[in-house]
Amino acid sequence: MRQFVTGLCFAGLLLGAPLNSERGQCRAEPPRGERPKTGPNPQQQNLAKLKSDLTAIREKSEVTKAQKQAVAQDLQAIFAVANRPSPESVQKLADDLTQALSDGKITTAESLALTQAISAVLASANISQEAAQKLKADVQTLLKASHLTPADIQTLQQDIQAILQTAQENRPNAKTKK
């Protein structure tokens, strides 16, 4: 029996559990001066929330494999003929998209600006209107089948923002520059 307990202690040591030599007992204890871990760190909690929210969204989705394949095929056809878009058109799209998403709502004017910016990026990349329209139609079908609501989008944005903020706070430079 003592050999069995010793074997378990040895196995525990191999797995990182320190040995408490008092009274010949073997139990996991944190090294002296370290506090025991009390659970997941904030970033793990942020990631778990994002995963949970994505799972909840996916569960109500009715997106089919065929719909995903259609979008993938559209993208492959576009990438087969596309050139690198002009940096100016990409920057304009990024600026318009940032502006449109800043308040969580996309107005009619913002939607028009985004449409024009996307068209400019596509044109500068040598992507035909027909290919772009097919991709647009297939993506709209996919989005409709996903049953994604504005609240879902806002929740995901908040999850991602929490992850980015925690990462920023945990950067080695962030603590020393204060």
Over the chain, what is the mean pLDDT? 79
Q: Yes or no: say if 53 and 155 are a contact pair by the CB < 8 Å rule.
A: yes
Residue-number span of the structural domain to which 19 is assigned: 1-29
Using CA atoms, how far apart are residues 176 and 139, in angstroms rounded to an integer? Answer: 45
Percent of the residues in the chain that have a pLDDT greater than 90, as a whole number: 26
Q: Do residues 108 and 54 share a domain?
A: yes
Residue 69: pLDDT above 90?
yes
**CATH number (domain holding residue 156):** 1.40.10
* pLDDT tens digits, one per residue of 39-68: 789 999 999 999 999 999 889 999 999 999
* pLDDT tens digits, one per residue of 74-105: 989 988 888 988 999 999 989 888 888 777 77
Is 4 a member of any domain? yes
Q: Do residues 22 and 47 share a domain?
A: no
In Å, what is the CA distance from 16 to each residue of 29, 79, 87?
10, 50, 52
The whole-number average pLDDT for the span 27-46 is: 69
- The answer to whether the predicted template modeling score (pTM) of the entire model surpasses 0.75 is no
Segments in 102-149 forming alpha helices (H): 108-124, 129-146
Query: How many domains, in total, are found in the chain?
Result: 2
Distance between start and end Cα atoms, the chain: 57
> Which has more confidence, 127 or 171?
127
